[in-house]
Amino acid sequence: MATSLFSIIPGSSDPIYRQLVDQVRRLVAGGQLAPGAALPSVRDVAQQLTVNPMTVSKAYGLLELEGVLARRRGVGMVVADRAAGGGEGTAADATDRAALLRPTLERAAREARELELDPATVLALFTLILKESP
Amino acid sequence: MTPSPIQMRGVAKQFGSKAILDNLDWEVRPGQVVGLLGRNGAGKSTLMECLLGLRETDGGSVLLFGEPLNALTDATRARIGYVPQKSDLFEWMTALQMLDYFKAMYPRWNDAKVASLLDRWGFDGLMRNKPIRRLSGGEQQRLSIVRALAHDPDLLVLDEPASALDPAGRRSFLAELVDGVIEQGTTVVFSTHILTDLERVAPDVAFLKNGRIALQGELDTLLDGARRVVGPASMLGAALPGELRRSQTGDGSVCVIVQGGALLADTPGVRVEPLGLEDLFIEVTR
C-alpha cells in the first residue's frame, strides 16, 4: 500500500503536519513521486499512521497552496505537473533539493553543539556516513 | 448555530481548603478533539467529573449541548460517553452482562460496533463471560472504552483511557479513535500523559494549571510558535514578546521560553531553539 511512503515521529519539535509536508517535498524533488502520480487518500494516510485526518488534510492543503500537489477530480491529490521542475540535474535543482535537507541538518547541528563537538569532527563523521552504503 | 457540547463558566470546586477548580471558564466546540493536559493533581479528573455532573461544583455553571447540567434531558444524556480513569462499578458482572445492562439504558446502541471491537480487542468467549473484577487492568480499560463507544456518543470524555494499555493496545485504541470516532465528527476531550498519543489525534490542547485553563490552542500553532531563547543576560534583559517564563542558567546566561511572539531575528550570541510537546508541557505547567 502506497501509504507506507510516509513515516512520522511524534514528540519531535517538528509538528506531524510539517513532517508530512517535508516528506512529500523530498519525494517529489527526488523523483520518487513523479508529476501526475496520485497520493494516498487522507483517510488512508490517517489510518496507516494513526493520526487525525485533519493533520493529513492540513499537510496536503499546504502542499497544494505551494503548487507541489494539485487536486484532481475523481482521483484526489496528485503531484502537480510543474512541481518537479524541468531541469533535472541542473545546479538550481540541486540547490532546491539541498534546501530540503536543511531542517534535518539543523537538528543535527543543534545536537552537535549540545555535545560540544567541533565542526571538523562533525563534518568528518557526516562524510563517513555519506560514504556508507545504505 | 449548534450549541457547544461543553460550556463552563466560573466553575469552582474545593476539597477542604484547597481550590482545585478556580473560577474556570472553558468551551469545547462541536467536532473539536481536545487533549487536556496538566500535572498530576492539577485536577483533570475533577474537571471531567464536574463537567459531566458526576461531582457537585461549588459554583459556576456548566452547559452540555446548551442544557444546564441540573436539567439535562435524557436525550442529551444519551449523547455523552465517558471512560473514567478507574471504574470499580459492575465488577461482579461479566463483560456481556454489563454491556447488556447499559444497552437497556440507551435509545441508540451499536451492536455491530460492540461485536467488532470485542473481537478485535481480544475478548474471546471465555473473557466475555468472566466477572469483570477478574479481568486485567488493561482488559477492564478496553471494556470501558467499548461501553463508552457503544451508543455512538456525540461527546466523548476520556480520562487517561490508555494508561493501562500496552503499546499495541494503545495503537489499536488510537486507530479506533481516528477511524471510528473522529471521522464521525464526534467531539472528544481526553486527558493523557502520553504526549505522543495526544499529538497523533488531538489537533487542540488545553493546559489545566492552578485551577484554570491556562493555555488553549491548536497544537501545531503552539509548537510552531514555541521557542527556547538562550543568551547572555545583557542581551536578553527586556521581556520578550510572548514570554512564558525565564530562568538563569549556571553559567550566568538567561533561558527564556516564548510562545507565539514574533521570532527573533538572528542575534549573535543568542540561540533560538524549537520546543517539542514534552518541553512545552514542562514549561507551561511548571
Residue A63 sits in a domain of what CATH number? 1.10.10.10
Q: What is the DSSP string of A86-124?
A: S-TTSHHHHHHHHHHHHHHHHHHHHHHHHTT--HHHHHH
Q: Look up the domain containing A72 and give its range.
A: 2-79
| Cα first-last separation, chain A | 23
Selection from A69, A66, A88, A91 nearest residue A78 by Cα: A69
Joined together, the cell numbers standing for residue B198 give 495526544
pLDDT one-digit tens code per residue, B207-265: 999 999 998 999 988 888 888 888 888 777 778 777 877 888 777 788 888 877 665 66
Same structural domain for residues B151 and B198? yes
pLDDT score of B226: 83
Same structural domain for residues B228 and B128? no
> Is residue B113 domain-resident?
yes
Task: Find out whether B20 and B211 touch, Cβ atoms under 8 Å.
Answer: yes
pLDDT one-digit tens code per residue, A71-90: 998 888 999 987 544 444 44
Task: Find out whether B45 and B159 touch, Cβ atoms under 8 Å.
Answer: yes
> Is residue A108 domain-resident?
yes
Residue B38 confidence (pLDDT) above 70: yes
User: Does B200 contact A51 at a Cβ distance shorter than 8 Å?
Assistant: yes
Same structural domain for residues A74 and A112? no
> Is residue A29 domain-resident?
yes
Same structural domain for residues A24 and A74? yes
From the list A14, A15, A52, the residue facing B182 with the nearest CB is A52
- Collapsed DSSP state (helix, strand, coil) of residue B15: strand
The answer to whether ipTM exceeds 0.95 is: no
- Per the structure, the count of domains in chain B is 2
> Who contacts A13 (Cβ-Cβ below 8 Å, separation ≥6)?
B223, B273, B274, B275, B276, B279
User: Does B202 contact A52 at a Cβ distance shorter than 8 Å?
Assistant: yes
Per the listing, cell 464526534 goes with B186
pLDDT score of B238: 79
pLDDT one-digit tens code per residue, B142-194: 999 999 999 999 999 999 998 889 999 999 999 999 988 998 899 999 999 88
How many angstroms away from the CA of A79 is the closest CA of chain B?
25
Q: What pTM, to 2 d.p., does this model score?
A: 0.82
Same structural domain for residues A44 and A104? no
CATH code, domain with B88: 3.40.50.300
Percent of chain B topping pLDDT 90: 66
Selection from A92, A2, A114, A77 nearest residue A47 by Cα: A2
From the list A12, A50, A55, the residue facing B203 with the nearest CB is A55
pLDDT score of A1: 44
Same structural domain for residues B104 and B139? yes
Same structural domain for residues B271 and B202? no
Cα-based torsion angle of the residue sequence B71, B5, B98, B70 in order, rounded to the nearest 10 degrees? -10
Phi-psi region of B53 (alpha: psi -120 to 50; beta: other; left: phi over 0): left
**Paired sense of beta strands B155-159 and B80-83, if any:** parallel
Interface test with A, best of B172, B198, B201 (most A CBs within 10 A): B201
Task: Find out whether A50 and B178 touch, Cβ atoms under 8 Å.
Answer: yes
Q: Look up the domain containing B47 and give its range.
A: 6-210
**Paired sense of beta strands B6-15 and B18-28, if any:** antiparallel
Task: Find out whether B237 and A28 touch, Cβ atoms under 8 Å.
Answer: no
How crowded is residue B237: how many other Cβ atoms within 10 Å of its Cβ?
Answer: 8
**β-strand partners of B208:** B213
Mean pLDDT of B106-111: 94
pLDDT < 70 positions in chain A: 1-3, 83-93, 133-134
* Interchain contact A104–B (C-beta under 8 A): no
Mean predicted lDDT score pLDDT of chain B:
90
Residue that terminates a domain, selected from B210, B232, B249? B210
DSSP state of B200: H
